[in-house]
Structure 1
């Protein structure tokens, strides 16, 4: 919880984002679900939005049916109104008491206090490789244990292990595959470290078809303002041909793909940013520099901001 509350690192494996499984269970046991957590508030909001759409569609259908009845009885043509006192709007509609009072999750069975078993927090905080290395290297607040020896990993061992996680699985008894400048961990960590060092809260953006989301303060305060797509660029094109890795977005993508991503993020009021990470050429650097984080100084970042053009809204 300290990692989450003091930097919004990781996510709960039993929650949408904030590790709140234990709070939800305590809430169900003590208050019967009256004090809702963020997941339950979101579920209730979605249920209300769904009910609003159903009520609005039913009201519009009723107005259309009334217009049909007047036409059949009197022969007058009346254009059904899509707004008015009879049509609910987002400003005037209120959820029904039954929907407002229904908890997002069913209350637990009533038991005597002596029969209740003590709650054990079984939720864990999941960290990405980028988050784990950032906490261990920059903030020095995380110790990672080697699963084979049960000893704390050194920074060099952790750095090598994070890179090896993205390479081809080595056969036991054979040497591990050599490190590469276009390792996906390196490329994504360059972006993660860059924005974290500038004060942004960086979270995964797979929900919106992007690599990262940028928050000014954190996901509990405001929605993300920027959506990042990482685009690797080889300094030497020959390195891309000789590489054994097929990096995503390393080749020119179709405009249809770009329009799709831009449209998705425009609908949720996020600015799409293409982050180009230049991969250094192997001809001017030795692979030995990859043995330490000092190699990050050879990578560079360029940003291109995209904005969706909507002719009907941008004439002014």
Structure 2
């Protein structure tokens, strides 16, 4: 399996060859590909060390100078440690800063709650001018990187770190703010984001093969601005909507979709699958943690069946 973070850095390297405005800022973290970027563009790579707040402030300054800074480090530190700088320096001035958080959700499971990131969607989508994107696989991460360069304004990109499985077997057209329908069905619509798209798609395939239950699967890669049109269509064309996310149930994908659903008059059921309002106190393998918190393929199959049986 490929990794989103490698796809991102390789894509950024190629884009930097085309656009001299692109800078890469890191906080004492990197991959082999970062070494290539630093060697290729020594004057456009800055390692700030463990100083994320300073890094974000510097990114704002670079953006004010007409540059396109990409700020990259572990997700909880690039969002929560320097939230004030993101809010005041970047978003308040609507600056062209691209924030990249690696290892979202439970990806850093072995390092515990300090490195797990299950609140980032909630806090970033609340910021005016901020665009929030969570790609599903390495190909989409590559497309998101290019789209972010072309997009003017603050962008937060959520990446995995553990060798994400392939969702897209072939090329496709990517557009910020436009969700992708991966599978059709009438019983319900499953809306997922980020690395949970793969598990959701596999769960849908099992439901079809073993239970004869046909569900629609939507990849909601852009969490802000949300694709309201695809939600409205799902509300009219299927019996209900179930959201799936590796994030707190408070303020994440489920909350965002629920806000839209609650304003419509369509009489459908709506349920959320995600992490409860508690710190993830367990340490362990990424796959084990997803199983523990009900986010594995088998857990999703059972959850969807139980929800549909309630109707």
Please give the TM-score of this superposition, normalised by the length of structure 2.
0.26
Structure number with higher relative contact order (C-alpha < 8 Å, ≥ 6 residues apart): 2
Please give the TM-score of this superposition, normalised by the length of structure 1.
0.25
- More strand by proportion, 1 or 2? 2
